[in-house]
Structure 1
Amino acid sequence: MKNITLLFTLVFSVSLMFGQTVLTEDFESGTTIPADWTNLDIAGNGEIWTIESGGEAVLAGAGNTLIYSAGGATGNYATFDSDDYGNNGTAENAALESPVFNCSALTSVTLAYNHLFAGNFGGSGFVEVFDGTNWVGVANYSADNYAGGAINLDVTNELAGVANAQVRFRWTGDWSVAWYVDNVSVFQCPVSAPDQVTMATTPANGATGVEINYGTTNNINPFEWMAATTGDPADSFNLSLGSTPSGDDIGTLNGFDSGGGINFAWQPNTTYFWYVTAVNCAGSTQGPVWSFTTSACTETSAPVATSSPSPADMATDVAVNVDGNRVYFSWGTGAAGTDYTLNLGTTNPPTQAFNNFENGDPITGLALDTTYFWSVDSVNCFGTTVGPVWSFTTNEALSVVEEEIEVFSVSPNPVSDILNIKSVNEIDSVLVYDLLGKQVANFNNNNIDNKSVNLSSLPQGLYLVKITSGDKSQTIKVAKK
């Protein structure tokens, strides 16, 4: 059985400033390749591109939505699923070719697309343009593990002035993994490339003692920087991370917003390097390479196991609050500096993990008259102590008792873009997590507008929104439509 490992995943969106557009394709016209595109079987083995939807990337775990969350695809997308064609011993070479488009009036040309690529086991992806005479390569992908995002390529040298231009996505491999492509466009950008970002604010350049939030996957949060105040604006930013002064040997997160956190196998007392690239439709501009050093580990043993759970082990008729079907979770804490991962599920052992869970916080969306299993793992820099598995059964009717901590409500829910927060106090922060406990959005005072946050960039699905005001916090399950 083939397996691949993910380095990190993220959610992002890019809103490009289009000028004159000569090609656009979102693959939403049907369940087959659009009629004006060519599905070219160069190898002649019948293995070609298809149209898929649902967001599930092959070999990345059942139910994943990486094509949407990490690739930025929406709805339908073009797919070459090498893994699905199987171990038949035939080499693959297949190109998805656009119709001819006219760039004769364009003085600058940008090619944009969203994609997710995994080339494990010999797969390669080639982005090529036809310059009126020959196919010319403008990007290629061959690395293992899924990576991708929103891509903007300056193809002015290849296509400006060309009346019979084309673009194609060509896959080669043999029982490799897959390539997913969506939202292809070619246009003249009305702005210039952005100026580079000016400075790192958090972690500051040269900072030491940067704290790691330990968990199932370690986290450092936030990463913040100052964007340029000169020149044309950036549409998005890519954050590159490294363990060497190049600043990018670990990988790059496309579409990363300032203020977000990164889940990674961070190590104590280690120096990391990072830089931010400002991107718009005219191109990208790399910023300076910064560095920081994580705090040293002074622990000599893993933390003690958690105890004294609430809800109590085997408790029955546990109240589920009417506001969001919430149940609060708490336990006896150990030493300072311990982080906690709460695991929850309807089977034993529970498999849904909430990293860096705050003792006393609620989880919303629980069902009535249902038995849940849960455990809390204690984590510090030395190691992890797996806690015992407890259980409780919810009652048969919703509780209408309001507790003092319940100080927030949100609307609309489900939400398509703007989520409004009702609170008598100012909102300090809003953190958004997927149901695997991975932080996918982060809002603070600078980007919370009149107690509202914009969730339009998130794919459809369920999310846990943690709202904090002063010493009060509450987690609410929100459906994104």
Structure 2
Amino acid sequence: MKKILLSVALLATSLGFSQALQSENFNGLTVGNLSTDITGATAGQGSWFTLYSNGTAPTTSTNAAVTNSQVVATGHNSTNGLALVGPNGNAGSRFLWKDGLPTAWAARTTGNNVIEVEVNVNPGARGVSRNRFGVTIYNADYLRSLVGFSVNSFTGELFLVAYATPTGQAVGNYNYSLAAAPGVQLPENAWSRVGISYNFTTGQVSINSTAITGGALTVAGSSANTAPAEINFAVFSGSTTALPNISAGTMVFDNFTSRAIDVSNLLGTSDFVATKATVSVYPNPATDVLNVNTSNSSITAVQIVDLNGRQVMTKSFNNVSDAQLNVNELSAGMYLINITSGDTVQTKKFLKQ
């Protein structure tokens, strides 16, 4: 999953005792394919990278394509969302991520040693697909799932994923069922909020969801002092010898947010509020002054990075709807501009003449 191009550092924005790391509500993206590249080399809409595979021979999966990740208008509360399609055979996977997490994590406030991720999930109707969908925080070599969750497309069961050492087992990546059979199941054709957290200091991991009764569940993870390197949306075939997968599944995600915080507080604040905020950057191309305008929202920070991932400008604002940037001294070329509003970051491109 290691990326080749375009390292985009997202600005860590103070939110009381927490800091935003990465987020996406998909409302600023265009309905249709998320990316034109599935090799992980070039970012698509919203600076999302995608890496898809049908698996190795003798795989029966045949559907790795740009159509496996779609921006759709059927997200949470009828806003835009992200529809992911899994493999249609016995092997294969899909991964989606944004660059920049290590930079944002390193810039966190001292003491904010817990990383949390929350996202809305609609599993759709139960079907025959055995696909496993979820979100995972990986370490730098992608061998450890510091914490994550997965949802079984066939049953709707929600699992905690963690690099841990269960009693009597060797250390490794494990799926934890959250209740006695049939487990915790996300309701069909409905939205649930799922949150996961990893404590850098202790290695402890937690999961919470609107589908869980009784509050968050916690496991003693085995990766203390391992820095989070990347947050991935992931889909796996889910096929086993006893229960082979023969069909692709689809799930829709929305309102993804991640933050650094001092004490885990999963789902402890109001659900991510998705609005149809529109961000405009003009004139484009720009020579001297670049204007940033947002509707139904407010700007707290703006960051400009070049296509090599180097930060060239950062400015803070006091919840304004219009901001101006003097780009006169920037070299001519293409840039990315990250506009932060609350815990939402939208990314735009502009050309400096």
TM-score by length of 1: 0.23
- Larger-gyration structure (1/2): 1
TM-score by length of 2: 0.30
